[in-house]
Amino acid sequence: MRPEYGHVYVADLNPRFGTEPGKIRPVVVVQTDALNRVHPSAIICPLTTKVAGFENLLRVALPKGVSGLNRPSDILVDQIKAIDNRRLRRKLGALPDPYLGELRHKILLILDFVEESHSLLGE
């Protein structure tokens, strides 16, 4: 399956290690389509249904129904990782703005590509 940027898929993240999310779960592809067309792996952020319930620098809250999700979920921005494309099982749907924009911004913050990241992290 060829992944698409900004789309949510069901992926098999087993086996898990340490604090990594495992199981079969939704993920959102954050890798550019320029690579997705030719590369055998994709950079993703996994989702969880254990929602934080409050504004969180490391999560993006998604309500039920967005991108084909059947439960409210949080995107785990701090768990960004590369997976083999064969881990992707099926496409659920595109992640719409403003959620995709918020995800992009938070990724830039945690990777220290935005000046405000130091003040948000208490430095």
pLDDT digit string, tens, across residues 57-106: 899 999 999 999 999 999 999 999 999 999 999 999 999 999 999 999 99
Total structural domains within the chain: 1
Q: Are 93 and 62 in contact (CB under 8 A)?
A: no
Q: Is residue 1 one of the residues assigned to a domain?
A: no
CA distance 61 to 86: 27
Mean pLDDT of the chain, nearest integer: 92
Half-sphere exposure of 78 (CA within 13 A, CB side): 6
Look at residue 2 and tell me if it is in a domain: no
Q: Which residues of 51-85 are buried (b: 16+ CB within 10 A; e: fewer)?
A: beeeeeeebbbbeeebbebeeebbbbbebbeebeb
Confidence of residue 55 (pLDDT cuts 50, 70, 90): confident
pLDDT of residue 62: 97
Instruction: Give residue 114's pLDDT.
Output: 66
Confidence of residue 122 (pLDDT cuts 50, 70, 90): low
Lookup: tokens for 119: 């003040």
pTM confidence score = 0.90
Range of the domain at 31: 7-120
Instruction: Evaluate whether residue 102 is within a structural domain.
Output: yes
Q: In this model, does residue 8 exceed pLDDT 90?
A: yes
Query: What's the pLDDT at 118?
Result: 55
Give the CATH number for residue 103: 2.30.30.110
Asked if residue 25 belongs to a domain, the reply is: yes
C-beta separation of 76 from 58 below 8 A: yes
pLDDT-based confidence at 119, cuts 50/70/90?
low
